[in-house]
Amino acid sequence: MEMLSFKNISVVYNEDVAESLQVAKHTKSVLEARGLVAKITPSSSYDPVASLVITIGGDGTLLKASRFYAPKNVPILGINLGRLGFLAQANTDEIEASVLKLINNEYRIESRMMLSAYNDRVLALNDIVIKGDTFSRTSKLFLYINGKVVCDYLADGIIISTPTGSTAYTLSAGGPVLVPGLDAMVIVPICAHTLTARPLVIPASEEIKITSCNTCSRLKMSADGQDTIDISADDCVVIKKSKTEAKLVILEKENNGFYAVLREKLQWGVAPER
């Protein structure tokens, strides 16, 4: 079993959430009461020597931290202040219990697949999205897999998702839910103007290439819905599985398996009340 290092604990708070700093200070005090040393850092200025990161915020806070810390092989534990918190392991009233579980080794560290574009200069734990730069118009986008033409989309954009991200934007766009441990990627067109354009699940070993036509002046690409960059429409974007993996701390507690979380947080398969 892979073990955590408590040598340099960084409690990362989201500066855009008013309550986040207060909860970070409480988390730090709980850690120190158990003999651990922790440092509070804002999400705009990460501690590069952290050995364990605890994020305070929503899934977006954890996703942003994962893109910085995954190449450093640093595990992340999420404390949820957001609406859904699908990736988080605890709410604010569970901080003390969560710290005890860390100390008592009641956890596991899960490796999560990440996506890579531009040779790992762009990393994503959830998804990479490509759209035209004019959001009021559809774009013509061409999909290649392993250098072979698959199809072209007239759509608002394309989502390339990991299994972890299959419960995020991909799900909202009509994509399937994938168990996080699957070695696969999901390709989902956004609001395609073709009824035959359906989500596609492919092995993670495949290489995806997306190009556009000359009618688009520029394209926009985002990683996890946060890091957005402009790219030339005559450029091609190659997306593949990254060699870098995110490390997520999963606490041992009741109803914390993937299917239980799916049912609890997404109300998956829950019949409507009469």
Q: Single out the residue of 209, 155, 161, 149 nearest to residue 185, CA to CA.
A: 161
Classify domain 9-106+252-266 by CATH number.
Answer: 3.40.50.10330
**Mean pLDDT for the stretch of residues 55-59:** 95
In this predicted structure, what is the pLDDT of residue 41?
97
CB neighbours of residue 35 within 10 Å = 8
**Mean pLDDT for the stretch of residues 204-220:** 84
Q: Residue 214 — very low, low, confident or very high, per pLDDT cuts 50/70/90?
A: low
Percent of the chain residues topping a pLDDT of 70: 95
pLDDT above 90: residue 61:
yes
Percent of the chain residues topping a pLDDT of 90: 74
Catalytic residues: 59
Angstrom distance (rounded) from CA 19 to CA 23? 6
As to burial, measured by CB atoms within 10 angstroms (0-12 exposed, 13-18 middle, 19+ buried), residue 272 is exposed
pLDDT above 90: residue 148:
yes
Architecture of domain 116-242: Sandwich (2.60)
Q: Single out the residue of 133, 140, 174, 171 nearest to residue 155, CA to CA.
A: 140
At residue 156, φ and ψ (nearest 5 deg) are -75, -20
**Mean pLDDT for the stretch of residues 23-33:** 98
Q: In this predicted structure, which of 21-30, 141-150, 237-246, 258-267 has the lowest mean pLDDT?
A: 258-267
Domain boundary assignment for the chain: 9-106+252-266, 116-242
Which residues are CB-neighbours of 204 under 8 A, at least 6 positions away? 113, 183, 184, 185, 241
In this predicted structure, what is the pLDDT of residue 86?
85
Q: Residue 110 — very low, low, confident or very high, per pLDDT cuts 50/70/90?
A: very high
- Reported as a single tens digit per residue, the pLDDT across 221-245 is 999 999 899 988 778 899 999 999 9
- Reported as a single tens digit per residue, the pLDDT across 251-274 is 998 777 888 878 877 777 666 666
pLDDT above 70: residue 136:
no
- Reported as a single tens digit per residue, the pLDDT across 73-86 is 999 999 999 777 78
pLDDT above 80: residue 1:
no
In this predicted structure, what is the pLDDT of residue 273?
66
pLDDT above 80: residue 137:
no
